[in-house]
Amino acid sequence: MATPLSADRLLKALRAEGLTVVEHRSWRTHNRNHKGAWGPTHGVMIHHTVTSGTEHSVELCYNGYAALPGPLCHGVIAKDGTVHLVGNGRANHAGAGDDDVLRAVIAERGLPSDNEANTDGNRHFYGFECVNLGDGKDPWPAAQLDAIERASAAVCRAHGWDQRSVIGHLEWQPGKIDPRGFTMDSMRGRIAKRLCGEPSAPAAAKPKRKPKPKPKPPAKRYEPYPGAAFFRVGRRSAVVTAMGRRLVAEGCSRYAVGPGPNWSEADRKSYAAWQRKLGYSGRDADGIPGKTSWDRLRVPNT
C-alpha cells in the first residue's frame, strides 16, 4: 500500500532514472479523480496503444474519446524512449480486473491467472501506454524497452516495491493481450536487475571515430621569375620547355614544332599571345615575360 506520488515526485523519480520526460499540457491536474478514488497505489501496469506516431498517440492518451475520456494513462512511452506525461491521478487505463492478481501484486509474489473482472484497477495502478500497434509485427526498439524498464523501476524505487509490482494489462483483465511483442517476465527480470543498482542515465553511444584526415598533397611549386634577361636567343633551358607547355595548355601556342628547350621566335610569339590574353597590348605584349604575367602562367618547377 502506498500514497500516490505527487506530480513533482513522479517527475523527479523518472528523471532520476535517466529518462527524457516531456510534460504534456496540463498533465499535473489532468485526472479522473471526480469519478472515483485514486490510491492507495500498489503497482505499475504496462500497455500498448494500438496506434502509431508519437504526437497522435500522446494526444489520444491525453484526451481519450467519447466512450472513454482521458487521461488513458499517466505516461506515454514513445519508440525513441521519451516519456510524455499526460495525467496525474486516477486514469482510465486498467479497468476492472482480478482481485486475486491485486493481492499477489500487493504481496509481491507470483501472479495467478486472471479469470475475473471484479476489482477497480484505475484506483490502484500507475499506467504507461507504449506506442505500438500491438499486432506482433510492429517492432519494439531497444530505446523504448529500456524506457519501459526505467519508468517501471522509477516508480517501484520511489515506493520501495520490487519488480513483482509491475504487471501487463493482459495479466490483470481477462481477454486483454497487451503488451504484445515482449513478455512481462522478461521485463520484470530487467527491472529486478535495475533495482539492484543506483539510478543511472542511459549509456552514451560511443562516439564514432573520426577518420584520419588524408595527408595533403605537397603544394605545387612553380618556377620563380628568372628575369627578362633570361629570355634571349641562344638560351637553352628546361624552364623554356616548361613555359612552352604551359602556353600550349593556355591556348597560346604559336609553335610549328615543339615547344623545346631553346628560346626561339615561336616562344616569343606564343608568350605575346599569353600577354594579350591577360589584357596587355603594345609594348606590354612584346613576348618577353614580365614578373606579373610569369607568375600568373604558373610554370611548374623543373
User: Which CATH number characterizes residue 45's domain?
Assistant: 3.40.80.10
pLDDT at 209: 72
Q: Which residue has the cell 482480478?
A: 98
Domain-embedded: residue 218: no
CA distance 76 to 69: 16
185 with 54, same domain: the answer is yes
Domain-embedded: residue 129: yes
Domain-embedded: residue 217: no
CA distance 115 to 69: 26
Can you name the residues that pair with 35 across neighbouring β-strands?
A: none
pLDDT at 203: 58
Domain count, the chain: 2
Can you name the residues that pair with 68 across neighbouring β-strands?
A: 65
11 with 72, same domain: the answer is yes
pLDDT at 252: 94
pLDDT at 205: 52
60 with 108, same domain: the answer is yes
Helix (H) or strand (E) holding 21: strand 21-23
189 with 256, same domain: the answer is no
pLDDT at 257: 85
Domain-embedded: residue 158: yes
Question: Is the bond preceding 40 in cis, omega lying within 30 degrees of 0?
Answer: yes
Does residue 168 sit in helix, strand or coil?
A: strand
Which residue, 152, 175, 195, sits at the end of a domain? Answer: 195
72 with 115, same domain: the answer is yes
pLDDT at 211: 78
pLDDT at 219: 76
Cα–Cα separations (whole angstroms), residue 19 to 83, 139, 204:
7, 20, 13
Which residue, 151, 180, 195, sits at the end of a domain? Answer: 195
pTM of this prediction? 0.68
Cα–Cα separations (whole angstroms), residue 278 to 168, 228, 241, 246, 259:
82, 18, 21, 14, 21
pLDDT at 218: 75
pLDDT at 173: 97
Domain-embedded: residue 57: yes
160 with 237, same domain: the answer is no
pLDDT one digit per residue (tens) for the chain, 302 residues: 589 999 999 999 999 999 999 999 999 999 999 999 999 999 999 999 999 999 999 999 999 999 999 999 999 999 999 999 999 999 999 999 999 999 999 999 999 999 999 999 999 999 999 999 999 999 999 999 999 999 999 999 999 999 999 999 999 999 999 999 999 999 999 999 999 988 876 655 556 677 778 787 777 789 999 999 999 989 999 999 999 999 999 999 999 988 999 999 999 999 999 999 999 999 999 999 999 999 999 999 87
pLDDT at 27: 98
Domain region containing 170: 7-195
Q: What share of the chain is helix, strand, coil (3-state, %, to 5)?
A: 35, 15, 50
Does residue 14 sit in helix, strand or coil?
A: helix
65 with 116, same domain: the answer is yes
Domain-embedded: residue 203: no
180 with 77, same domain: the answer is yes
Domain-embedded: residue 2: no
41 with 157, same domain: the answer is yes
pLDDT at 207: 64
Where do the DSSP E strands lie in 42-170?
43-48, 64-65, 68-69, 75-77, 83-85, 96-97, 119-120, 125-130, 166-168
233 with 162, same domain: the answer is no
pLDDT at 1: 57
Alpha carbons within 13 angstroms on the beta-carbon side of residue 135 total 5
- How many CB atoms are closer than 10 A to CB 79? 19
Domain-embedded: residue 137: yes
Instruction: Read off the pLDDT of residues 94-104 as tens digits, 9 standing for 90 and up.
Output: 999 999 999 99
CA distance 173 to 114: 6
Instruction: Give CA 249 to chain center in angstroms.
Output: 50
16 with 165, same domain: the answer is yes
183 with 254, same domain: the answer is no
